[in-house]
Every structure is written in structure tokens, then in C-alpha cells.
């Protein structure tokens, strides 16, 4: 099998205007529930997040969705990471979910804002202790000489906070994506895929079908 010759014929389902929720965030929640119900789907909440500098140079990476409700989608990271720096310059964002086992994709475009400190504190306190220590040990996106330095930093902070809760670093916290456009994609035979795009206009969502 080669990149040029590999083919998958999508035939697991269809996507009709009559079957989707009029609110795309509720529809996303439905599809997330479907993905979690499939044991073969690893990390159903993994989403590719794209940011850009103020002059439009893009970058993308996979993060984990940690919340979705009527206000938007939430994820957490270092504010000093590359994506954090780019979001401070240009608070526009795009995100994509892809679940091959379901032959489904969701694309999101919108703006982003930092969560409140209370919201970030509450989530940080729910994380496994080792994950909290790693947020202190790693200066995300910065170069480092060798892996052993990270391990040494982790041990340093484990000793520093021994016997007490690990506080949230002020350089780490959450963002909420406020979607303006959400597109749902369902694979169909012969590459004639279903695409339904939601657009938010004057506080209301409209739905239109796109050609594949």
C-alpha cells in the first residue's frame, strides 16, 4: 500500500439537515458521545488547534478538549507556549476533530479568550498530581539541552510541593473558543461526502449544505 494508491470508501452513515440539532455545540456533544461509545476511538476529545501570528503565519498542534457547553469549547495550555503567544497576538483560532472509526470530522472557526483564574484553578486542581508538577517543570515550546533536565526539574518540584497541593502556575490556564462557524462532515461513498456548515449571524445559527 502506498500514499498514492491507498483508498477508503466511506459508507457508515449520512448527514441530513432534518437529523441535526439546530445548535452546533449540542450537535458536537452528540458526536462526542458517539465517539466515546466506540472503544476503538482513542482520545475522542483530541482536536487539532490552529493559531497564527499577527502577520498570518500559521501553526497547528493536537490538544485535548476539556469542556463544551453553550459558551464554547475549552482547552488548557501554557500561556507562554507558542500557541499561547500567538493567541495573545491574534485571538482567532481554528480547530478540527477527526474520528476515522465514525468517518466523521468537525471543523470550527472562531475567536478565543482566556478563562477566569477561578476556572483555571478549579480545573488544575482536578488534574493528576504528576500532570500538575509537569506544568511547573516544563517551559513549554522552549528549547532544552537534554531530556534529563526535565526529569531533574520534575523531581525538584515534587520535593518543593511535597505534602501540599500543587498550585497552578500563573503562566498556565484555559482558553474558551467562541465559534462563529462550525462544519460537520460525514464520509459518503464515491467521495460525495455530506457537509453541513453552521454560521452564527446576529446571534442566531443558520445551516447550509456544502458540496464535497
Query: Which of 167, 78, 77 has its CA nearest to residue 121?
Result: 167
For the segment 153-191, what is each residue's pLDDT rounded down to a tens digit?
Answer: 999 999 999 999 999 999 999 999 999 999 999 999 999
Residue 6's pLDDT is what? 86
Q: Name the more confident of 125 and 202.
A: 125
Which stretch of DSSP H or E encloses residue 152? helix 147-160
Catalytically annotated residues: 191
The mean of the pLDDT values for the chain is 97
Domain locations along the chain: 17-125+171-210
For the segment 61-81, what is each residue's pLDDT rounded down to a tens digit?
Answer: 999 999 999 999 999 999 999
CATH 2.30.110.10 describes domain 17-125+171-210: yes
How far is it, in rounded angstroms, from Cα 186 to Cα 31? Answer: 11
Q: What's the rounded mean pLDDT across residues 99-108?
A: 98
Amino acid at each position: 500500500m502506498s500514499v498514492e494508491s491507498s483508498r477508503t470508501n466511506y459508507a457508515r452513515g449520512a448527514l441530513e439537515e432534518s437529523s441535526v440539532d439546530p445548535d452546533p455545540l449540542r450537535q458536537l456533544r452528540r458526536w462526542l458521545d458517539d465517539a466515546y461509545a466506540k472503544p476503538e476511538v482513542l482520545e475522542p476529545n483530541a482536536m487539532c488547534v490552529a493559531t497564527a501570528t499577527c502577520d498570518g503565519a500559521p501553526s497547528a498542534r493536537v490538544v485535548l478538549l476539556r469542556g463544551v457547553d453553550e459558551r464554547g469549547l475549552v482547552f488548557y495550555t501554557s500561556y507562554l507556549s507558542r500557541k499561547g503567544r500567538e493567541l495573545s497576538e491574534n485571538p482567532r483560532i481554528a480547530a478540527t476533530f477527526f474520528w476515522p472509526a465514525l468517518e466523521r470530522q468537525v471543523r470550527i472557526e472562531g475567536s478565543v479568550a482566556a478563562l477566569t483564574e477561578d476556572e483555571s484553578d478549579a480545573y488544575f486542581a482536578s488534574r493528576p498530581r504528576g500532570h500538575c508538577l509537569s506544568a511547573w517543570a516544563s517551559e513549554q515550546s522552549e528549547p532544552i539541552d537534554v531530556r534529563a533536565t526535565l526529569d531533574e526539574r520534575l523531581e525538584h518540584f515534587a520535593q518543593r510541593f511535597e505534602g501540599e497541593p500543587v498550585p497552578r502556575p500563573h503562566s498556565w490556564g484555559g482558553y474558551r473558543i467562541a465559534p462563529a462557524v462550525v462544519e460537520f462532515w460525514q464520509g459518503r461513498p464515491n467521495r460525495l461526502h455530506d457537509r453541513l456548515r453552521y454560521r452564527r449571524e446576529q446571534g442566531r445559527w443558520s445551516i447550509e449544505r456544502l458540496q464535497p
